[in-house]
Amino acid sequence: MEENKTHIANVQVEIQNLIKLWSGTKERQAKELLELSDKYRFLFSEIVKTYLKIGFKEWGLLGEWRQAIHKVEIAVSQKDHTELHETILQLRRLEKDYLLRGDVNYLDEIKTQLILLRRQIAGISDTETSGILKEINRYEKAFEQYLILQKKIGRTDKEGLQEDFAEVIDKMKPAIDHIYTEAKDANQKALHSLIVASIFIYFFGTGLGGTAFYFFARSITVRLTVLKNAVLNVGRGHLDTKLATDKRDEIGIVAEAFNKMTTDLNTITVSKNYGNYSAKKS
């Protein structure tokens, strides 16, 4: 971010020098480019600040809601309440589906699951109930704040700040190209700075859009792919298939349930085969 600020500041100084040298149409074009560079600097700063608030995995709003729901999952895992376990798993699945696909229809389903989850927990009479409900409220608040920031920044470069940022870059490119020619004979130093700026703007601007979200989504899809392959492996008859359960997150809980399922299936199969063998022997 600091490097970007330095590039833009240097470019603006050179544009101001051109404004002093030029008059008429050239001066107007240089002033327009200066205004665009101001918009670029502002939008870039807003996008970076918004991504920092959103965070990634264990920090920012993403970290906030992950920590909250993990505490709920840990507390619920210690209770013999099948429906409650299913509700939490469904909530996390809907959450991941929304993050990966961006379909707003998932949001209504998430709200429905949260209402159901609160109702089920309120029906449990113990000292931990209030603490669990507090973490659910923290989860919901963080998720709602995330949605606000996501709308502000836009899911793609056709929405929100990303759309504004892309428009400014699109306007800056032809303006810079035009001034290249004008500046050649007038100011070689300005030309060099503008070339550096245009290359930086092009590569950084086009790559900024979904970087943070890409890494978040990829961390989920890789582990889901492992889970899918394990399920397919069981379908082929490999009942001894196991998954690593070193992480205490939602996918880690599913992995534990998967391992228990394969263990139970293996036990049932062995018992059945032994029964058939005993029947034939007798």
Q: Spell out the domain ranges in the chain.
A: 1-79+124-209, 212-281
Residue 60: its pLDDT value, please? 85
pLDDT the model gives residue 109: 94
Q: Which residues in the chain land under pLDDT 50?
A: 199, 203, 206, 209, 213-214, 274, 277
Asked if residue 230 lies in contact with residue 113, where contact means CB atoms within 8 angstroms, the answer is no
Cβ-defined contacts of 100-108 (< 8 Å, 24+): 100/217, 100/220, 100/221, 102/155, 107/147
Q: Closest Cα to residue 68, out of 127, 125, 117? A: 117
Q: How many CB atoms lie within 10 A of CB 157?
A: 19
Q: Residue 277 has what pLDDT?
A: 47
The confidence score (pLDDT) of residue 69 equals 87
> What confidence score (pLDDT) does residue 203 get?
46
CA atoms within 13 A on the CB side of 263: 8
- pLDDT value at position 72? 87
User: Residue 247's pLDDT is what?
Assistant: 61
d(CA 1, CA 200): 12
Interior CA angle at 203 toward 180 and 213, to 5°? 150
Distance, CA of 282 to CA of 272 (rounded, Å): 16
Indicate the Cα dihedral angle 131, 147, 60, 254, nearest 10°.
60
Concatenated DSSP letters of 169-231? HHHHHHHHHHHHHHHHHH-HHHHHHHHHHHHHHHHHHHHHTTHHHHHHHHHHHHHHHHHHHHH
pLDDT of the residue at 206: 47
From start to end of 17-85, where are the E strands? none
Give the per-residue pLDDT at 239. Answer: 65
